């Protein structure tokens, strides 16, 4: 058994894309199993930067099979344009990409409805990526308004169902936002049947494919999107995404039981970031937060929004590690902290005078949590060119040791820059 999962333990953007890319050559199949084009995974090699949203990172290597499994919600237009972008950069995307016929489809009304709902929340907006992710997952759970990829290949029933759904959505949207223009079902159906034709070569029963691949001894690499603290069930609800973005989602999203995975890698930044709304106890609304944002180029891959930045929160990441069941840690963007005199780690929260290392289940409690910090000296040296842990300044090693101790998992990978090369494997 040598399948691996890469899971973010914070609020997303932990640099999962870099780790998936690094591990791809030791695997045969890369699987995205939840989320959609709300994700933005960056890979840098040979001086080139690639930003992948719906396509698994494995798509960058044509010898690998990439699977968009059942738990992903698919905007076919976005997917086709991403495929086109890769092709225009000389990366072929052909039968090496498989898309689940059970995956649900994002339609224009999902995007319009999400915008209306977000706008109506005012200061309490979730701060979504406005890609129709949550509204599509809601329709999946509700079933009556859901359309799956496989349905697109039955044009007559698809047209009839879409007409019914769009009729109901138009009534709903008019009630919520009277100025919304009604959507035209026939036009959407024509458009989506066109996308379906273009994607047909990729569409498959991916669950069956993955089981056959396992039986044939192939090594699967599961590429998590978002992060454990954005998990619909276990994250900072309602400031979460609408899928199981912790390790919990692997089984349901791919159809592959977790017992087939021999190594779960938890990816964390050496500090914390968050995009969108919701409490963030270690947030730094000061010059240190701005310094981290500037040095780490902390602007959203998908929306370009500035990311909120703060100290490493071991209570939050430790909780992420426990719910995801990770075996080890990959600590990313350590280089970003190199110029700081002192670096703090949140080891506990104080809520209403009580000290706790439990991650609160209610956002109101998390919003009142005051971080208890352990402060370590900075290393004040560029680490981006180092490739062996033994060469790291003692302060940097002490910082990594603290993170491992507080989370209770060993550090296996340390990243000191965006490039593939800027990586230290602590244990092979
Ligand atoms: P993902 O969504 O988890 O794949 O992460 P993103 O791609 O959204 O954000 C991570 C960002 O950090 C990207 O711009 C990466 O190129 C960059 N990055 C990855 N590892 C490192 C690192 O070790 N140091 C620095 N400075 N940047 C990194
Ligand atoms: P990757 O895979 C960081 C956040 C949004 C918002 C919340 C809900 O690149 O780590 P949604 O559009 O999913 O309904 O938005 O989740 N969010 C992410 N934050 N990284 C991501 O993906 C994210 N995907 C969604 O900012 O707060
Ligand atoms: Mg990202």
Helix (H, G, I), strand (E, B), or coil: what is residue 78? Answer: helix
Closest ligand to 299 CA? 1
Yes or no: say if 177 and 171 are a contact pair by the CB < 8 Å rule: no
Cα distances (angstroms) measured from residue 105 to each of 38, 76, 327: 14, 7, 34
332 CB near ligand 1 (under 6 Å): yes
Quickly list DSSP for 191-241.
HHHHHHHHHGGGEE-HHHHHHHHHHTTPPEEEE--S-GGG-TTTSSTTSS-
Span 42-57, mean pLDDT? Answer: 95
Q: What is the mean pLDDT of the chain?
A: 97
At a CB cut-off of 8 Å and minimum separation 6, what does 35 contact?
A: 72, 73, 133, 225, 226, 241, 243, 245
Helix (H) or strand (E) holding 313: strand 312-313
Q: Which ligand 1 atom lies nearest to the CA of residue 8? A: 3
The distance of Cα 308 from the centroid of its chain, to the nearest Å, equals 16
pTM for the structure as a whole: 0.97
According to DSSP, the β-strands at 203-204 and 97-100 are: parallel
The distance of Cα 375 from the centroid of its chain, to the nearest Å, equals 29
> How far is the C-alpha of 57 from the C-alpha of 18, rounded, in Å?
9
Q: Beginning with the edge strand found earlier in the chain, give each strand of the sheet holding 3-8 in spatial order.
A: 203-204, 97-100, 65-68, 29-32, 220-223, 3-8, 261-269, 328-332, 411-415, 423-425
129 CB near ligand 2 (under 6 Å): yes
**What is the structure's pLDDT at 304?**
86
Model pLDDT for residues 131-174, shown as the tens digit of each residue:
999 999 999 999 999 999 999 999 999 999 999 999 999 999 99
Nearest Cα neighbor of 381 from 335, 338, 333, 417 is 338
- Expressed in angstroms and rounded, the spacing between residue 310 Cα and the centre of ligand 3 is 17
At a CB cut-off of 8 Å and minimum separation 6, what does 103 contact?
A: 68, 69, 70, 71, 72, 73, 74, 148, 149
**What is the structure's pLDDT at 206?**
98
Model pLDDT for residues 367-404, shown as the tens digit of each residue:
999 999 999 999 999 999 999 999 999 999 999 999 99
- Expressed in angstroms and rounded, the spacing between residue 61 Cα and the centre of ligand 2 is 25
Helix residue ranges per DSSP H, 50-154? 76-88, 108-121, 133-142
Model pLDDT for residues 323-371, shown as the tens digit of each residue:
999 999 999 999 999 999 999 999 999 999 999 999 999 999 999 999 9
336 CB near ligand 1 (under 6 Å): yes
Residue 100 has pLDDT above 60, yes or no: yes
Residue 309 has pLDDT above 80, yes or no: yes
**Residue numbers annotated as active site:** 13, 41
Task: Work out the pLDDT band at 303, boundaries 50, 70, 90.
Answer: confident
Nearest Cα neighbor of 5 from 273, 256, 317 is 256
133 CB near ligand 2 (under 6 Å): yes
> How far is the C-alpha of 344 from the C-alpha of 54, rounded, in Å?
35
Yes or no: say if 228 and 8 are a contact pair by the CB < 8 Å rule: yes
Angle of helix 155-176 relative to helix 185-199, nearest 10 degrees? 130
> How far is the C-alpha of 172 from the C-alpha of 193, rounded, in Å?
25
Task: Work out the pLDDT band at 301, boundaries 50, 70, 90.
Answer: confident
Residue 66 has pLDDT above 90, yes or no: yes
- Expressed in angstroms and rounded, the spacing between residue 225 Cα and the centre of ligand 2 is 8
- Expressed in angstroms and rounded, the spacing between residue 95 Cα and the centre of ligand 1 is 29
Residue 52 has pLDDT above 70, yes or no: yes
**What is the structure's pLDDT at 240?**
98
Question: How much of the chain, in percent, has pLDDT values that exceed 90?
Answer: 97
Residue 428 has pLDDT above 80, yes or no: no
**What is the structure's pLDDT at 1?**
61
Long-range contacts of 186-190 (CB under 8 A, 24+ apart): 186/159, 188/107, 188/108, 188/162, 189/155, 189/158, 189/159, 189/162, 189/163
Model pLDDT for residues 220-234, shown as the tens digit of each residue:
999 999 999 999 999
242 CB near ligand 2 (under 6 Å): yes
415 CB near ligand 1 (under 6 Å): yes
Mutate to test the pocket of ligand 1, among 42, 56, 317, 320 (most ligand atoms within 8 A of CB): 42
């Amino acid at each position: 058994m040598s399948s691996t999962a890469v899971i973010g333990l914070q609020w997303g953007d932990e640099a999962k894309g870099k780790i998936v890319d690094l591990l791809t050559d030791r695997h045969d199949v890369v699987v995205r199993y939840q989320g959609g084009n709300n994700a933005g995974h960056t890979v840098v090699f040979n001086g080139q930067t690639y930003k992948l949203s719906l396509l698994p990172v494995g798509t960058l290597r044509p010898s690998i099979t990439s699977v968009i499994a059942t738990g992903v919600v698919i905007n076919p237009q976005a997917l086709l344009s991403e495929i086109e972008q890769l092709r225009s950069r000389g990366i072929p995307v052909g039968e090496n990409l498989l898309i689940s016929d059970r995956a649900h489809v994002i339609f224009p009304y999902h995007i319009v409805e999400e915008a209306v709902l977000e706008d109506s929340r005012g200061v309490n907006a979730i701060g979504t990526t406005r890609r129709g992710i949550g509204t599509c997952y809601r329709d999946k759970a509700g079933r009556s308004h859901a359309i799956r990829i496989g349905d697109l290949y039955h044009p007559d029933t698809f047209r009839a169902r879409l007409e019914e759904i769009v009729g109901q959505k138009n009534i709903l949207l008019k009630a919520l936002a009277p100025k919304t223009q009604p959507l035209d079902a026939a036009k959407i159906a024509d458009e989506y049947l066109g996308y379906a034709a273009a994607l047909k070569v990729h569409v498959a029963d991916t669950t069956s494919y993955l089981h056959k691949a396992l039986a044939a001894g192939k090594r699967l690499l599961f590429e998590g999107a978002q992060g454990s603290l954005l998990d619909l069930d276990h994250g900072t609800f309602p400031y979460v995404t609408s899928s199981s973005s912790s390790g919990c989602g692997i089984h349901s999203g791919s159809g592959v039981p977790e017992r087939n995975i021999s190594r779960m890698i938890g990816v964390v930044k050496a500090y914390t970031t968050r995009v969108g709304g919701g409490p963030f106890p270690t947030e730094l609304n000061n010059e240190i937060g701005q310094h981290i944002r500037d040095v780490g180029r902390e602007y959203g891959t998908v929306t370009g929004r500035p990311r909120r930045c703060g100290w490493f929160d071991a209570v939050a990441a430790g909780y992420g590690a426990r719910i995801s069941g990770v075996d080890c840690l990959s600590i990313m963007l350590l280089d970003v902290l190199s110029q700081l005199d002192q670096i703090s780690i949140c080891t506990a929260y104080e809520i209403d005078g009580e000290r706790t290392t439990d991650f609160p289940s209610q956002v109101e409690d998390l919003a009142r949590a005051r971080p208890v910090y352990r402060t370590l000296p900075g290393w004040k040296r560029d680490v981006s060119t180092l490739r062996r842990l033994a060469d790291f300044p003692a302060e940097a090693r002490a910082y990594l040791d603290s993170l491992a101790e507080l989370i209770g998992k060993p550090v296996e990978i340390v990243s000191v820059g965006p490039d593939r090369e800027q990586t230290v494997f602590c244990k092979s």
